[in-house]
Amino acid sequence: MAKMILVQVSFDVPEKKIKEFLDYSTSTLKKNWEALRCKSYTVYRSVGERIRDDQVIGKNRIVEQLVFDSIEDVKYLFDFRNLNPEQQAAALSYDKRFHATNMQTIILERV
């Protein structure tokens, strides 16, 4: 079985920007990241209802999951030199347009 790589990025977006971000992720981010060796891009919003005692509640927390075939493909996407102008604008939109904060990235390998 090939070792797939999952990149999970989580961050907070101001409440007034959530809907705009979710729309943008579908219309723009998905096509741009999938054009850069990403096999699939999915975005989620944190559930605000407590189900478990150890559950982290993040009302405005967004989680993106990007799946890749290899770590080389991950490096390719995150190398700003590989991005065309539209993709560069998409990458910069997290800070400039959506004011994302508390960004955390975890890179996982299927075992």
Q: Give yes or no for a contact between 36 and 77, defined as CB atoms under 8 angstroms apart.
A: yes
Domains with residue ranges and CATH for the chain: 11-48+56-106 (3.30.70)
Position 57 scores a pLDDT of 76
pLDDT confidence tier of residue 1, bands split at 50, 70 and 90: low
Cβ proximity of 29 and 88 under 8 Å: no
Instruction: Give residue-wise pLDDT tens across range 4-41.
Output: 999 999 999 999 999 999 999 999 999 999 999 999 99
pTM of the full predicted structure?
Answer: 0.91
Q: Where on the phi/psi map is residue 102: left (φ > 0), alpha (ψ -120 to 50), or beta?
A: left
Mean pLDDT of 38-53: 89
Structure letter (DSSP) for residue 52: S
How large a percentage of the chain has pLDDT more than 90? 82
Q: Give the distance between the most distant pair of CA atoms in the chain.
A: 44
